[in-house]
Structure 1
Amino acid sequence: MERNELCWCGSGKKYKKCHLMIEEKIAYHADKGEIVPTRDMLKTIPQIEGIQKSADLNTAVLDHVAAHIHAGMSTAEIDKLVYDYTTEHGGIPAPLNYQGFPKSVCTSINNEICHGIPDENIILEEGDIINVDVSTILDGYFSDASRMFMIGKVSERAEKLVRVTQECVELGLAQAKPWNHLGDIADAINSHAKANGYSVVEEIGGHGVGLEFHEEPWVSYVTPKGSEMLLVPGMIFTIEPMINEGSPEFFVDEDNDWTVYTEDDGLSAQVEYMVRITDDGAVVMTK
């Protein structure tokens, strides 16, 4: 762009007073051989506004689930809660029919790592831990977050796993700031998980999100500090490590080709935040 043109991001500022300095800094890091985002991975101000509205609805859906989840209900009832609330507020559940996924939400219990399919025959029991993964489309913009719920009184091992998983995400979030790297987030998460005797699933990670359900970059949680893509203001992606109490190995259900289970039948937990990199840190858009 010409220096005196209005910046492409929609800020209303001239390019020289807005993204010129950012893009010069990106070029500096690229010249050092680092992985850097392309311009189309940086969201414009109008896009951020639309994505945030989707994220606000996504948070409201999770709050709605939190207010109603209980022992004795089926995961199909959770699916109905998500579908009804989302559609009544003008949204579309992003998982529904995504690559053939048959439901509006993922419900993953105990030894299920992710992508559990709601079913009227799966009943929540006292002591279960469950991840409810909600993704929303509103006015063409996408959002994505998940929470862990402990049903009634759970075992000490289950409570610790859920607690440490939440801590891992918060430690990762603290490293989500401009000019750090995705590897800084991963190192914080992986180090804390290992310090507590847990493992992090390697082959399934986070992702960019906003204009599509899944965008670049793919986000690993096991890579070294200082590695992977440079973090730049305007990037939006998920922090969603899957923490296993035993081995990180897994298998996919042969019958439905979706649900992912721990190989050793141990417990697994996941918490997902959707974050936007800002000029001085990160904003949690939905969690």
Structure 2
Amino acid sequence: MITIKSEREIDLMRESGAATSLVLDMIEREIKPGMTTLQLDTLAEAFIRDNGGVPSFLHYAPKGDPDVTPYPATLCVSINEEVVHGVPDAKRVIREGDIVSVDCGVYKGGYHGDSARTYLIGEVNPKVRKLVTVTRECLYLGIEQAVEGNRLHDISAAIERHARSFGYSVIENMVGHGIGSELHEEPPVPNYGRRKTGIRLREGMALAIEPMIAMGRSRNAVSRNGQWVAVTEDGKPSAHFEHTIIVRKEKAEIMTLSPSERK
């Protein structure tokens, strides 16, 4: 069931969204070659708890799927060909030239914020750097469509059209989602689709929009270890950006916008 958030609920989601953006700002300051992904995760958990939140992802497991091991970390840290759900590890070292997707959720005041950014580590191959830039553009083009009266797949089509115009692939089996008091709510938000299809958007819907775009021909992300981390089918790099937004009449409200972006 899709829920319409009240203005009181949206106020609370502003708090969780702001907390989430601050974590990713902190990661941007701290991430560097030589760090392990577990070091990033440790920093993030301490930061979230010090600021009155709880990590949304830690011990998360999809409802109705008892075979999935609960997620063991605060962040998803995915490097290069890893699309999503990279599990932090003391042996996984971040290196010069990597691109690193960090996905973070914060539960605060009874509601979740969910956001992701892909970071460039040192001197990155220009072609890969372009992928990251275009993926971020896809996110904001999708958000532009998240206004009352549009259809859900107007978001999807805007993302797909921009990505494919550069010859990139859209990961089709990983999607955005509704969000609120639960981390994952209805509806799923795919990153591909036809304009003017899907449910009609209403003011107060809360969505996590998250394009995952790859350089190669991958249409799906495939499991590497049978549980969490998912990689491109052909081993080519993938980038990922995400914001939690509220559908509005004129312009979507971004809950997880960094304070520096609000200026």
Query: Which residue is 2:225 aligned to?
Result: 254
Unmatched runs of 5 consecutive residues or more in structure 1: 1-37
Query: Which residue is 1:43 aligned to?
Result: 5
Following TM superposition, by how much is the alpha carbon of 1:81 offset from its aligned partner in structure 2, in angstroms? 1.2
Distance 2:225 2:103 in 1: 21
Query: Which residue is 1:223 aligned to?
Result: 193
1:148-172 C-alpha deviation (Å, 9 max, x unpaired)? 1000010011101101101111111
Distance 1:156 1:189 in 2: 22
* Counterpart residue identity of residue 46, structure 2: D
Distance 1:266 1:228 in 2: 31
* Counterpart residue identity of residue 144, structure 1: D
Distance 1:214 1:249 in 2: 20
Pairing 1:154–2:124 present: yes
Following TM superposition, by how much is the alpha carbon of 1:59 offset from its aligned partner in structure 2, in angstroms? 0.8
Following TM superposition, by how much is the alpha carbon of 1:278 offset from its aligned partner in structure 2, in angstroms? 1.4
Identity of aligned residues (%): 38
Distance 2:173 2:95 in 1: 30
Distance 1:167 1:89 in 2: 30
1:168-211 C-alpha deviation (Å, 9 max, x unpaired)? 11111111111001111111110111110001111110001111
Q: Is the 8 A contact 2:174 2:220 kept in 1?
A: no
- Secondary structure of the corresponding residue to residue 156 of structure 2: helix
Map residues 116-127 of structure 1 onto 2, 5 A cutoff.
116-127=86-97
- Secondary structure of the corresponding residue to residue 178 of structure 1: coil
1:117-161 C-alpha deviation (Å, 9 max, x unpaired)? 001111110000010001000122111000110000100111011
Pairing 1:93–2:63 present: no
Query: Which residue is 2:245 aligned to?
Result: 275
- Secondary structure of the corresponding residue to residue 25 of structure 2: helix
Pairing 1:204–2:165 present: no
* Counterpart residue identity of residue 62, structure 1: L
- Secondary structure of the corresponding residue to residue 165 of structure 1: helix
Q: What's the TM-score, normalizing by structure 2?
A: 0.92
* Counterpart residue identity of residue 192, structure 2: V
- Secondary structure of the corresponding residue to residue 115 of structure 2: strand
Following TM superposition, by how much is the alpha carbon of 1:66 offset from its aligned partner in structure 2, in angstroms? 0.9
Distance 1:276 1:155 in 2: 35
Distance 1:140 1:282 in 2: 22
Distance 1:168 1:139 in 2: 30
Pairing 1:72–2:34 present: yes
Distance 1:278 1:243 in 2: 26
- Secondary structure of the corresponding residue to residue 217 of structure 1: strand
Task: Tell me how many residue pairs correspond in the alignment.
Answer: 248
Distance 1:235 1:52 in 2: 14
Query: Which residue is 1:22 aligned to?
Result: none
- Secondary structure of the corresponding residue to residue 98 of structure 1: coil
* Counterpart residue identity of residue 15, structure 2: K
Q: What's the TM-score, normalizing by structure 1?
A: 0.84
Q: Is the 8 A contact 2:213 2:240 kept in 1?
A: yes
Distance 2:89 2:28 in 1: 18
Following TM superposition, by how much is the alpha carbon of 1:250 offset from its aligned partner in structure 2, in angstroms? 2.7
Q: Is the 8 A contact 2:112 2:182 kept in 1?
A: yes
Unmatched runs of 5 consecutive residues or more in structure 2: 62-69, 258-263
CA RMSD of aligned residues (A): 1.1
Map residues 119-198 of structure 1 onto 2, 5 A cutoff.
119-198=89-168
Distance 2:143 2:9 in 1: 22
Distance 2:240 2:204 in 1: 25
Please state which structure has a larger fraction of its residues in helix: 1
Following TM superposition, by how much is the alpha carbon of 1:222 offset from its aligned partner in structure 2, in angstroms? 1.0
Tell which deviates more after alignment, 102-111 or 163-172: 163-172
* Counterpart residue identity of residue 43, structure 1: K
